[in-house]
Amino acid sequence: MNIHKATNKNDLGKEAARIGIQKIKETISRQGEANIIVATGSSQFEMLSHLTNEDGIDWTKVTGFHLDEYIGIPIDHPASFRLYLWKRFVSKLPVPIKSFHFIDAELNPKSECMRLAEIIKEVQINVAFIGIGENSHIAFNDPPADFEISDPYIIVNLDKNCQQQQLGEGWFKSLDDVPNQAISMSVKQIMKSASIICSVPDKRKSSAVSETVTGEIIPSCPASILQSHSDCNLFLDSQSASAINSN
The CATH number covering residue 227 comes to 3.40.50.1360
45 lies in a domain?
Answer: yes
**CA distance linking residue 25 with residue 54, whole number of Å:** 11
**CA distance linking residue 30 with residue 210, whole number of Å:** 36
Domain span at residue 77 reads: 2-155+182-240
85 lies in a domain?
Answer: yes
171 lies in a domain?
Answer: no
169 lies in a domain?
Answer: no
137 lies in a domain?
Answer: yes
167 lies in a domain?
Answer: no
Task: Give 10-residue mean pLDDT values along the chain (247 residues).
Answer: 95 97 97 97 94 93 97 94 96 96 96 97 97 95 96 96 89 91 97 98 96 96 97 97 75
177 lies in a domain?
Answer: no
**CA distance linking residue 44 with residue 111, whole number of Å:** 28
Q: How many domains does the chain have?
A: 1
Residues 185/198, Cβ–Cβ less than 8 Å: no
112 lies in a domain?
Answer: yes
Q: What pLDDT score was predicted for residue 170?
A: 86
CA-nearest of 238, 242, 237, 206 to 15 is: 237
Q: What pTM was computed for the model?
A: 0.95
